[in-house]
Amino acid sequence: MASLISVVITTRNEEKYLPQVLSSVKELADEILIVDIESRDNSVEVAKKFGARVISHKYINYVEPVRNFGVSQAKGDWILVLDPDEEVSPKLRATLKAIAKKPEKGKITYYAIPRKNIVFGKWIQGSRWWPDYKIRFFKKGTAIWSGEIHHEPKMVGEGKKMTANEEIAIIHYHYDSIEKFILWANRYADVRCAALLKNGYSFQWEDLIRKPFGEFLSRYFFGKGYKDGLHGLALGLLQGFAEVLVLVKVWERQGFIPRDISLTQFQDEAKSANKEFSYWLADSLIKTQNNPIEKFRLKLIRKLSS
């Protein structure tokens, strides 16, 4: 006998996206459960038109605790957790259906699914955005999210990664405007700021250079964001800016304490940042270089910058 599948989606003012995600799972789900977080638009009405069961949850500015509540209310043997701006591809739909019908041998209780992020109208394959595995399909009772933002759930049992193939990926229609990114960054900064303060972090001005710049380097060079062209450059800079927001919110919460910064101190930080930049630029260029002399020169620069 095939196991039942519940699809759990959290919503807050998501009427724009709901028809797309609900249409993509209507042939997969035995139950569609919407956990609505005080929507002021027509999200609830749209969900009900698709036959979804809707339950309410008080407002909270990040989704992890709400997911725990939704999963606890689901009736299915297998749970698929989605965001309202996501969509299940036809091949993924068939794959999940087959798993529920005839589970794999062994103790597999959950699956990490690749996620195809569409940002500003383009599939982003660099910047650590692909395959962007997310644990979203699991047996009921095997997953619990902590109270931290953007953390994967703690799992019981053994898991399996699906192949990094766009045909079996969750399609994520992420930021479609700069405004949406800024709204997310501000909300994310509030949550991160609270977590840092709770853990005893004290604002240091040097972090305003180190952490955002480190985030950019990680995305653009280590994550090969440069392969995504202008999208990759813009995203790397925007994600660095998101780190700036986190830090200045900590500074704000700690009273905007004044601090003198000499040009010499700033120069020291800038030199360190430039050295790190030179290392990652040389490291990335080495991978594209066929000329042995130029490759040797770049390796020397990388070594001197390490």
CATH number of the domain where residue 132 is located: 3.90.550.10
Looking at the structure of the chain, the number of domains it has is 3
Are 168 and 211 in a shared domain?
no
Which among 173, 206, 221 is the end of a domain? 173
- Of 120, 150, 173, the last residue of a domain is 173
Please tell me whether residues 19 and 63 are part of one structural domain: yes
Q: How far apart are CA 274 and CA 183, in angstroms?
A: 30
Same domain (yes/no): 120, 209: no
Q: Phi and psi of 115, rounded to 5°?
A: -125, 130
Distance CA 292, CA 301 (A): 14
Q: Which among 222, 220, 214 has a CA at the least distance from the CA of 233?
A: 220
Structural domain for 296, as ranges: 262-306
pTM: 0.88
Q: Are residues 283 and 300 in the same domain?
A: yes
Q: How large a percentage of the chain has pLDDT more than 90? A: 89
Indicate whether 267 and 252 sit together in one domain: no
Give the C-alpha separation, 118 to 172, whole Å. Answer: 6
Q: Are residues 75 and 87 in the same domain?
A: yes
Same domain, 120 and 56: yes
Q: Single out the residue of 59, 63, 2, 9 nearest to residue 34, CA to CA.
A: 9
- Give CA–CA dist 192/197, Å, rounded: 9
Same domain, yes or no, for 165 and 191? no
31-36 and 53-56 strand pairing = parallel
Q: Please check whether residues 115 and 226 belong to one and the same domain.
A: no
The residue among 143, 173, 203 that closes a domain is 173
**What is the reported pLDDT for 213?**
97
- Check: CB of residue 92 under 8 Å from CB of residue 112: no
Alpha-carbon distance of 289 to 212, in angstroms, equals 29
Task: Encode pLDDT of 79-102 as tens digits.
Answer: 999 999 999 999 999 999 999 988
108: which strand partners? 158
Where b means 16+ CB within 10 Å and e means fewer, 221-240 reads bebbbbebeebbbbbbbbbb
Residue 218 DSSP code: I
> Is residue 1 very low, low, confident or very high in pLDDT (cuts 50, 70, 90)?
low
CA distance 3 to 254: 52
